[in-house]
Amino acid sequence: MSKGNTFDGVKVMRGTGDPVAYTEIAGNIADVKLPSAKANFFERTSHKSGGWKEWGKGLLEVGSVTLKIEFGTVEELKAWGAGLKAKDTEKYRIQFPPIGGDAGGDFDFEAFVESVDPNETPIDGQCYVEVMLKPTGAATWLEA
């Protein structure tokens, strides 16, 4: 399996060190799904609310990043399994190519490996693993 192949020009990389140096992950990227982001709300109803619930806006929350990766070796799969067992986050970057008039850009984040599902084996005989990453902290792709 070659290293650093892309899905429509999108690259997925893992970072190490300080300053961070990014390396493309092994395997062909078949699909990337960016996480949703949402605001959490808390109830702040009081006796003065006139019978209606009142809400306050709390912290922002980021959903999961889903990667579908064609893998070629058991070692590649074991590497994702090691990430699943790890107690610390890892640094990731999803790099988007320029499209039309857009300059493209990077989505940098720290995440835990949330799940590893190696059960996708389509008719074409390729083995795929679906990896879900749970980002922690700010969603940099939403920042202006």
Range of the domain at 135: 11-43+53-142
pLDDT score of 6: 47
Quick check: is 2 in a domain? Answer: no
Residue 5 pLDDT: 44
Are 29 and 7 within 8 A, CB to CB? yes
CA distance 128 to 130: 7
Write the DSSP assignment of 37-81 as a string of letters.
EEEEEEE---TTSTTS--EEEEEEEE--EEEEEE---HHHHHHHH
Domain count, the chain: 1
The predicted structure's pLDDT at residue 143? 64
**Weakly modelled stretches of the chain, pLDDT under 50:** 1-6
Has residue 6 been placed in a domain?
no
Q: Tell me, what amino acid is at 121?
A: T
Q: Could you report the per-residue pLDDT of 64-79, keeping only the tens digit for each?
A: 999 998 876 778 888 8
The CATH number that applies at residue 128 is 2.30.110.20
